Amino acid sequence: MPRLQAYGLPDSVGPIVFWYNKELCERAGVDPSAIKYWENLLDAVQKCKAAGVIPIAVGGSEKWPLQFYPALLMMRILGKDGMASAYRGYNGGFAGPDVVKAWRLYKELCDLDSFQDGFQTMNTRDAAAFFHDGKAAFHLQAGAWVLTAGRLYAADKKGLPEAKLGWFFFPEIQGGQGKANDIFGSVYGWLVSRGAPKETVDFMKVWLGKQTQTKLAAEGLSIPMVKGTAEAIQNPFYKAIAVEVDHSGWMDQLLGRETGRIFNDEAAAVAAGARSPEEATQVIEHSWSKSRI
């Protein structure tokens, strides 16, 4: 059977950033603007716990929200070149010393009981509702989603207003090669088959054209991939993210269906205390090494 030829057409992006509840951070004595390095985040978690504030909301039952943590820590430590080297199997691949270090830091966060009770059985929607209902100080998730769909899952269907929200990039690692605006996120788009009718192509030209995408940007409906649309964005959160972000696709997507699933499984296992960082990275590397052959 001949393979279907298709073309990918990027539409918009959903960068992963830390969102925070200003009121809860103030109650805990946490200054989110000072969270620049990993140690600052751990300190903020401990201050929240001391003040009786749940630090971080996460939907652990679906596992992929947990993979943001080890993946971003890997990015912060290795940088883009180091990530590319691990991808190719150099320096121990995904079981190399720097990768193991990232997973150890992730376990350090998990060992502080940073997430809400029952996070392993809570899905992504319920975690967003938990955050928007004002029950946790932080939420690591796609920015565009948190401000649109995420709010709809709150008890009042409105969620936290922008006056009570803020965001910051996932913190850097002292001595690491990655920068704060090196982040993972969704790339939304369309797949169009080679044999698609002319009307499909005509629609794509209009929908993905600068005029239409500028209107969507101005309405705050998305962060378009089309160049030259950032200046039309009115929402200050979207605008800052659109201007500052250096973007890459999610780790589980970059590794493909099989190893990506394993990466997510291992992130959940480490969070549950069922797997050590060393064991997790070995499992991931073993799976990915078969893809390199």
Q: What φ, ψ does residue 283 adopt, rounded to 5°?
A: -65, -45
| More confident position, 97 or 200 | 97
Residues 165 and 221 in one domain: no
The domain containing residue 235 runs over which residues?
184-244
Residues 171 and 112 in one domain: yes
Q: Does the pLDDT value for residue 291 go beyond 70?
A: yes
pLDDT band for 1, please (50, 70, 90 cuts).
very low
pLDDT band for 243, please (50, 70, 90 cuts).
low
Q: Does the pLDDT value for residue 247 go beyond 60?
A: no
- Any domain includes 4: no
Residues 188 and 55 in one domain: no
Q: Which residues contact 61 (CB under 8 A, 6 or more apart)?
A: 120, 121, 122, 123
| End-to-end Cα distance, the chain | 24
Over range 18-26, report the average pLDDT.
97
**CATH code, domain with 109:** 3.40.190.10
Residues 226 and 109 in one domain: no
Residue-wise pLDDT for 146-186, tens only, equals 888 889 999 999 999 989 999 999 999 999 999 988 877 66
Over range 199-224, report the average pLDDT.
83
Residues 261 and 158 in one domain: yes
Residues 23 and 70 in one domain: yes
Q: How many domains does the structure of the chain reveal?
A: 2
- Any domain includes 2: no
Over range 223-234, report the average pLDDT.
77
Residues 238 and 254 in one domain: no
Helix (H, G, I), strand (E, B) or coil at 168: strand
Residues 161 and 210 in one domain: no
Q: What φ, ψ does residue 245 adopt, rounded to 5°?
A: -80, 135
pTM: 0.87
Residues 117 and 211 in one domain: no
